[in-house]
Structure 1
Amino acid sequence: MFHPTVYENLKVAFENYLYDLDNQEAVITITNREDILDMAVMSRQFTLQFALAGHEEPTAEVRLYSSVADLAAEILEEGDPSELCSLVIRFRYKVRDLKRCKEAEVILINIWLPELPIRQVILYPYDTASEKPDYYSVSADVRFNRRIGEGQIEDIPNLAEHMIRSLMELSGKL
């Protein structure tokens, strides 16, 4: 009989919790879902993106990764089963002034703790007619200092609460 992997169990737990927040509680709206198997390197990536209900921006994403080495370690029962997946929380928003990126960073650090690195990447459309773009698209990643396993499934409600709080504060300040 097929036994689901740690990655699959985490993916389903995130899906169930976040879709309940969308469909039953109407707190968020799921805006995108990706479930990718990269056959070249046998890695898996799951992404679930959402926004606050009634809003298009900013958005938050749960990004769950697992490599072939992680899968092999699980099947061969080698290594620590609590460290088989990587998790990144990503926020996307637009700003007209780059000074707002510092404000966003402060918001995210206050919610996610100073020891979690926040990495912002700024993109903007290139237009030869103007020197300054109308807006900058920002992607801010919250990276965790450790990998996760099934033991962290109980943390999903707390993660979702932090993500929703981040969206509320970002939408109110940017």
Structure 2
Amino acid sequence: MYDPTIFENLKVAFENQVYDLDNLDRKITITNRVDRMDFAIMARDFAIQFTLTDQPNVTAEIVLGASVNDLAGEILELPGMNLGCSLLVRFTKRIQNVAIQCELIDQALTTIWENEIQLTQTLSFVYEQEASSYLDIIEVKFKSKLNEEHMGDIADFLDHVLETLEVLTGL
């Protein structure tokens, strides 16, 4: 009999709650969804991207991943392995004043997410166009792996994502 992996269980839990925020609560608008098996490295990833309803200028993308080691370790029931999934939230936002806005974003996200994350901001602009604004890709990567014990935390996690979208929209 088929026994779903940690990845499958978490993917379904995230998917259900995010779709509820879109379809039932109407707090967000889902703009993209990816469910991929990477055969080159035998890994899985699931991503779902969305914006706050009527505020399309800042996006959030939740990315859940499972490596071959995690998938194989679970399927083969290998003892002593720290099995689970990686979790990353990627926000995108246009900014004009790099020095000020990036620091404000760093402070705001550190307050919201506390010590659970590794935070990076990557800036880009289109070559040969005047750089009046930059695309800021803000990645919030979680230090520890997720497993089924974290299912009850998904609603709180999504509240933090929505709070981050609201803060980023205001900056």
Distance 2:59 2:132 in 1: 19
* Aligned counterpart, 1:159: 157
Distance 1:79 1:64 in 2: 23
Within 5 Å, give how 1:81-100 maps onto structure 2.
83-99=83-99, 100=101
* Aligned counterpart, 2:112: 111
Distance 1:46 1:80 in 2: 26
- After superposing the two structures, state which structure 1 stretch, 115-124 or 161-170, moved more: 115-124
- After superposing the two structures, state which structure 1 stretch, 26-35 or 76-85, moved more: 76-85
Contact 1:83 1:146 in 2 (8 A): no
Residue ranges of structure 2 left out of the alignment (5+ in a row): none
The count of aligned residue pairs is: 170
Shift of the 80–55 alpha-carbon distance from structure 1 to 2, 3 Å rule, reads farther
- After superposing the two structures, state which structure 1 stretch, 78-87 or 26-35, moved more: 78-87
* Aligned counterpart, 2:18: 18
* Aligned counterpart, 2:133: 135
Contact 2:74 2:83 in 1 (8 A): no
Three-state SS of the structure 1 residue aligned to 2:31 is strand
What RMSD in Å do the two structures reach over aligned CA positions? 1.5
Structure with higher strand content: 2
Distance 1:78 1:67 in 2: 15
Contact 1:82 1:150 in 2 (8 A): no
Cα deviation code 1:61-85 (max 9, x no counterpart): 1110111111110012124677321
Shift of the 19–126 alpha-carbon distance from structure 1 to 2, 3 Å rule, reads same
Contact 1:82 1:151 in 2 (8 A): no
Shift of the 75–122 alpha-carbon distance from structure 1 to 2, 3 Å rule, reads same
Residue ranges of structure 1 left out of the alignment (5+ in a row): none
Matched to 2:139, the amino acid is D
The answer to whether the aligner puts 1:44 opposite 2:64 as a matched pair is no
Cα offset for 1:148? 0.9
Contact 1:62 1:87 in 2 (8 A): yes
Three-state SS of the structure 2 residue aligned to 1:148 is coil
* Aligned counterpart, 1:61: 61
* Aligned counterpart, 2:126: 125
Three-state SS of the structure 1 residue aligned to 2:156 is helix
- After superposing the two structures, state which structure 1 stretch, 6-15 or 81-90, moved more: 81-90
Cα deviation code 1:68-112 (max 9, x no counterpart): 111110012124677321111111111011121111111111100
* Aligned counterpart, 2:72: 72
